[in-house]
Amino acid sequence: MNFDLSPEQDALRQNVRSFAEAEIAPRAGELDEKEEFSYDLTARMADIGLFGMIIPEEYGGQGLDYLSYIIAVEELARVDASQAATIAADNSLGINPIYYFGNDEQKRYWLPPLCSGKMLAAFGLTEPDAGSDASASRTTAVKDGNEWVINGSKMFITNAATDITGVIIVQAVTDRRPDGRPELSCFLLPADTKGFEARTLHGKMVWRASNTAQLFFNDCRVPESNMLGQRGEGFKQMMRTLDGGRLSIGAMGLGGAQGAFELGLKYAKEREQFGRPIGEFQVNAFKIADMALQVEAARNMLYRACFYADEGRPYGQAGAMAKLYCSEVMRMCVLHAQQLHGGYGLMKEYAIERFYRDQRLLEVGEGTSEIQRLVIARSLGLNVR
C-alpha cells in the first residue's frame, strides 16, 4: 500500500493551491457578497487546465486520473466553494456524461469547447417535484419525425444560466416501461434551442458566486441524434454520473474542512484572551486536534474511493461514504472554527462566515446525507426505502 501522491499530483496540488490563494482568495468575499459569477476567474481556471480534467487529450481534455481532478477541487474548495463548484459541476456532471455515454460524433462536437472552458455544460436532473426521488421527472420528450420535443422544467441546475453555457443534459420521460415505471432518456439540449429559458436563481445562502438556475423547456426541438446513449438508459446514466459527482462533493467537503481548520488554527494562535493565545487552552486545543484528526480520516476515505474509480472498480458505496463523511467533517470543522473566532466569526469580514454557510450545501446537493445513508444501507443488502 502506498499513501504517497505521484510527483505530478503533488505538483498539481501546489499549482492549484498557489492559484487559489493568489487569484481567488482576494476576491471570494466580494463575489459572494455580490452574488456574482466570475467570467474572468472561470477563464483563468481554464488557463491552468481545470476543465475536462479526466477527458483524454484527443478530445481536448487533460487526460488525468480521477484523483488528480479531486485534488484540484479540494484545493479550490480550501479557499472558496463557489469557484470549486463551477469546476466540480462542469467536470463531473456536465462533461463526464458526454464522455461516458456519448457517441463519437457527440464527443468530437461537444468535448473540445467544453474542455477548453470556453463553454459550460449543465446537468439537468433535479426538478421542482423530483429532488431525492430523481426518477419522478415530469419533463417529457415526445418523438415527432426525426426530432424530440421536450417540455418541462428543471430546478437548482449549476452553470446553466451563464453567458457561456452551451449545452444541458436533460433527463426526460420518453415512454412508460412494461413494468409501469417511466422510461427515462437523456438528451443533449443546446442552450440556444428555441423555447429554452434559463433563469438564474438569486438569494442563495450558499455558493453565491456560482451560477444556479431554473430551466424551462417549452416545445424545445432537438434532433434524434441528440439522444445521449440508448433510449431508456437515462436514469442509469444519471445515477452513474452522480456516483462520480459524489466524489467531487466529497472533495468540496474535504477542501472546505481543511480550509476551515486552517482558519481556526491560525486564529487560535493569534488571538489572545486571559493573557495567552486561545489555542493554548485545552478546550480549544482539543477542538483543533479533533479537526486535524477528522480531516485526515476524510482524506483517506475520499482518496480510497478515487483509487477504486481509477482502478475501474465499483465505487458507489465508497463514494457515498466519502461524500457523506467529508460533508459532515466539514460541518464539524466550520462549527469549531467559527466558535474559535467568537464574535468575529459572525462577521462577513472573516472568511469563516462564508465557509459556515457554504457547508450547508454539501449535506443537501448531489444526494442529501439521507440519500447517501440509503445508498450505503442498500449496498449492505438492506431493501430500505
The span of 130-138, 199-207, 222-230, 265-273 binding ligand COS (CB under 6 A) equals: 130-138
Kindly state the smallest distance separating residue 133's Cβ from ligand COS, in Å.
6
240 vs 271 by CB, closer to ligand COS: 240
Among 20, 54, 79, 134, binds ligand COS (CB under 6 A): 134
- Binding residues for ligand COS, how many (CB under 6 A)? 20
Residues 91-120 that bind ligand COS (CB under 6 A): 93
Residue 87 CB burial class (10 angstroms; 0-12, 13-18, ≥19): buried
What are the grid coordinates assigned to 45, written together? 481556471
Among 243, 328, 353, 363, binds ligand COS (CB under 6 A): 243
68 vs 126 by CB, closer to ligand COS: 126
CB atoms within 10 A of CB 356: 22
Identify the bridge partners of residue 142 per DSSP, sorted by sequence position.
Answer: 149
Residues 174-193 that bind ligand COS (CB under 6 A): none
Which one from 147, 224, 366, 370 is the annotated catalytic residue?
366
CB atoms within 10 A of CB 136: 13
The span of 21-29, 145-153, 235-243, 348-356 binding ligand COS (CB under 6 A) equals: 235-243
Q: Rule CB under 6 A: is residue 152 a binding residue for ligand COS?
A: no
Q: Rule CB under 6 A: is residue 268 a binding residue for ligand COS?
A: no
User: According to DSSP H, which parts of 221-341 are helical?
Assistant: 234-270, 282-311, 316-341
Residues 363-382 that bind ligand COS (CB under 6 A): 365-367, 371, 374-375
Among 36, 98, 44, 34, residue whose Cα is nearest residue 76: 44
Q: Rule CB under 6 A: is residue 235 a binding residue for ligand COS?
A: yes
**346: Cβ contacts below 8 Å, ≥ 6 apart:** 338, 353
Q: Rule CB under 6 A: is residue 242 a binding residue for ligand COS?
A: yes
Among 198, 211, 197, residue whose Cα is nearest residue 35: 211
Q: Is 57 a catalytic residue?
A: no
Among 344, 348, 360, residue whose Cα is nearest residue 33: 348
3-class DSSP state for residue 65? coil
Binding residues for ligand COS, per CB under 6 A?
93, 123, 125-126, 132, 134-135, 235-236, 239-240, 242-243, 316, 365-367, 371, 374-375
